[in-house]
Amino acid sequence: MSTIDWIILVLFLFGLIGIVLWVLKNKKDDTSDYFLSGRSETWLAVGAAIFAANIGSEHLVGLAGAGAESGMAMAHWEMQGWLVLVLGWVFVPFYAHSKVFTMPEFLLKRFNKNTSSTLSIITLISYVLTKVSVTAFTGGIFLETVMGIDFWYGAIGLVLFTGVFTVLGGMKGIMTISVIQTPILIVGAFTILILGLLKVGGGGLLDGWSEVVKYSGDNMHLIHIKGDPWYDKFPGIGVIFGSAIIGFWYWCTDQHIVQRALAAKDLDNARKGTILAGFLKILPVFMFLIPGMIAAALKAKGVPGFDFDSNDKAYGSMVTNLLPIGVKGIVVVGFIAALMTSLAAHFNSSATLFTIDFYKNYRPNASEHKLVWVGRMATVAVVVLGLVWIPIMRGLGSVLYEYLQNVQSLIAPAISAVFLMGVFNRRITPKAGEWGLLLGFFIGMFRLTLMIFKSSFAADSLFGMLLDINWLHFCLFLFFFTMSAMVLISMFTPRASETQLQGLTYFSQSPEQIAETRSSWSNWDIITTGVVVLICVGFYAYFW
């Protein structure tokens, strides 16, 4: 980092202070404004915010590192981003009509309080122990690699600074910085991609791509057949269905993504925002995964500056060695903003969950001012807990990213099954939703516990054979098991009343709700949605 680069960074920090002051000056002291930006955002802000909430240090560090290690294998999780279209077209109308702030609040209306509380607890635990801590952890690695900042200073500083920004700026501050940083992030990442291809190809883009293909070999394929090096981890087409379940959970039911769509001022802007996010979500493969593959090729060729000792440092080496003075500062600013918005999204969503799903139920007569204050204190608590967990995350070392993917595959199936069955099958009873979520979650956590003590079990023991089941195949099993359990339980438990179901399932919408949803989309929405899907299909056809 040169002096010019540091000056650009300082100007960025002053810009953040300006955003906070602007938000504080124009704020409304109510929960809708603090948690959902007053439900007033346009499609541009919604799409940018969804994309920004998704792109965190796990992409700059983890996805690029995965590209350096296994090539295209992890691209499935990026291509499943088309499921954000399902959020806009199918699920947002139900969430909007029910006027909820949170996903547990929706389950409260569709099922019962126990289902709602269970999802809140699962989500809060996953945010604190994985998303917040891991974003800080991998952010510390990135800042150390690119800027030379000590890991602990970088990780702790990132968490504390983002925490202050979230507490003061709320959702409106997050949405504002998302719109600003998204184009910087995209332009900067594609600049690195182009410079990397030129470097590895000796001055030609096509030559560079040929070198990457030559170096990567079988790693260029998305689908691995039995006998391929990566089959045991990413088995055949099972990876498509497994990643789709995880993708549905993340894009259609996870609070920190859905909350951005619910901040839209109407259904039209929410849907268009998700379509924009669908286009943007196609980009990370080219922004991070392929640059990771390029970095691995440069390392293999012995290019100076690319002797990184861990694949997690692959992307940082690209930023450090390829970008010229001045440009590096601008790009680093975009990346730091991406880290902040992703982390802030988790902070704000955690605060929303705690305030709306726990505190408001305990204190139903609390004032709007009090609820906002509790939300700010909840953010502070999540910041502290995230900091406490960082040393444990660091202790996991190189297996961290692999553990994260496994944890997601154990959390996603039950939640996905409950939401899908809850919306599309009105015969599913409240108790079925409650017990389906509990059973799926406990089975997932049981396998996670076995994974931690894997070395204690013989390969031919019952627990050893259970662990030997591929993680994506187990994800599929848990998904269908949860749905089957819900159908069975529904046969012996009372159904919800028609009044309770009104507007919450696909077959119980009122004529007015159906008309409102239909009037919110146009032919252009259909065309642009089709384009996103075709691009994803074309990507699979090329790299199959």
Q: What is the pLDDT of residues 201-212, one digit of tens each?
A: 887 888 888 888
Rounded CA-CA distance 7/417 in Å is: 50
Q: Which of 120-124, 252-256, 431-435 has the highest mean pLDDT?
A: 431-435
Q: What are the residues whose beta carbons fall under 8 Å from the beta carbon of 216, sequence distance 6 or more? A: 71, 72, 293, 296, 297
Single out the residue of 68, 98, 312, 72 nearest to residue 200, CA to CA.
68
Tokens of 314: 């692959």
Q: Give dist(CA 81, CA 60) in Å, integer.
A: 17
CA distance 471 to 50: 27
Question: CA triplet 257, 9, 336: central angle to 5 degrees?
Answer: 25
**Dist CA 213 CA 118 (whole Å):** 46
> 327-354 and 3-26 are packed helices; what angle lies between their axes, rounded to 10 degrees?
30
At 485 the pLDDT is 95
Choose among 314, 340, 316: nearest CA to 9: 340
Query: Can you tell me the mean pLDDT for 237-244?
Result: 85
E-only strand ranges, 295-368: none
For residue 220, the tally of other CB atoms under 10 A from its CB is 15
Q: 375-412: per-residue pLDDT in tens? A: 778 777 877 777 777 676 555 444 455 666 677 888 89
State the amino acid at position 153 in one-letter form: Y
401 touches 424 (CB < 8 A): no
Q: Say what the pLDDT of residue 399 is.
A: 43
Task: Return the pLDDT at 309.
Answer: 78
Q: What is the pLDDT of residue 477?
A: 93
Q: For 311-340, what is the mean pLDDT?
A: 79
Assess contact for 346 and 379: CB atoms under 8 A.
no
Average pLDDT over every residue of 312-337: 80
Task: Decide: pTM greater than 0.95.
Answer: no
Burial classification of residue 433, based on how many CB atoms lie within 10 Å of its CB (0-12 exposed, 13-18 middle, 19 or more buried): buried
Q: Does the pLDDT of residue 164 top 90, yes or no?
A: no
* Alpha carbons 307 and 340: distance in angstroms, whole number: 28
**Kind and range of the H or E element at 336?**
helix 327-354
Q: Rounded to an integer, what distance in angstroms lies between the CA atom of residue 532 and that of residue 536?
A: 6
All domains of the chain in start order, with CATH:
3-543 (1.20.1730.10)
What value does the mean pLDDT take over residues 346-370?
Answer: 75
Q: What pLDDT, on the 0 to 100 scale, is given for residue 86?
A: 92
Phi-psi region of 227 (alpha: psi -120 to 50; beta: other; left: phi over 0): left
Q: How far apart are the first and last CA of the chain?
A: 40
Give CA–CA dist 335/112, Å, rounded: 41
pLDDT value at residue 274: 93
Q: How many CB atoms lie within 10 A of CB 422?
A: 27
Lowest mean pLDDT among 9-23, 30-44, 225-239, 358-372: 30-44
Q: Over range 366-382, report the average pLDDT.
A: 76
Rounded Cα gap, residues 268 and 457, in angstroms: 54
Where is 242: in which H helix or E strand? helix 238-248
Q: How far is CA 369 from CA 33, 81, 353, in A?
A: 11, 37, 17
312 DSSP assignment: G
According to the per-residue pLDDT averaged within each range, which of 178-182, 384-388, 442-446 is highest? 442-446
Name 41's bridge partners. 264
Average pLDDT for 213-222: 81
Mean pLDDT across 453-461: 75
> Which pLDDT score, from 0 to 100, does residue 10 have?
81
- Which among 180-194, 425-439, 497-511 has the top mean pLDDT? 425-439
Where residue 529 falls among pLDDT bands split at 50, 70, 90? very high
- The pLDDT confidence band at residue 156, using thresholds 50, 70 and 90, is confident
Q: Are 54 and 344 in contact (CB under 8 A)?
A: no
The structure tokens listed for 38 are 């007053």
Read off the pLDDT of residues 506-526 as tens digits, 9 standing for 90 and up.
888 888 888 888 888 889 999
Task: Name residue 22's amino acid.
Answer: W
Nearest CA-CA partner of 95 in 265, 276, 258 = 258
Chain segment 249-291, per-residue pLDDT in tens: 989 998 878 888 888 888 889 899 999 999 988 888 888 889 8
The more confidently predicted of residues 341 and 57 is 341
Model confidence at 433: pLDDT above 90: yes
- Note the maximum CA span of the chain: 70
Percent of the chain at pLDDT exceeding 90: 16
Q: How many C-beta atoms surround the C-beta of residue 402 within 10 A?
A: 14
Tell whether the model's pLDDT for residue 31 goes beyond 60: no
**Residue closest to 361 by CA, chosen among 189, 172, 117:** 117
**If you average pLDDT over every residue of the chain, what do you get?**
81
Q: What is the 3-state secondary structure of 139-167?
A: HHHHHHHHHCCCHHHHHHHHHHHHHHHHH
Residue 106: is its pLDDT beyond 80?
yes
**From the CB of residue 544, how many other CB atoms can be counted at a distance below 10 Å?**
8
DSSP type of residue 132: I
- pLDDT given for residue 322 in this prediction: 85
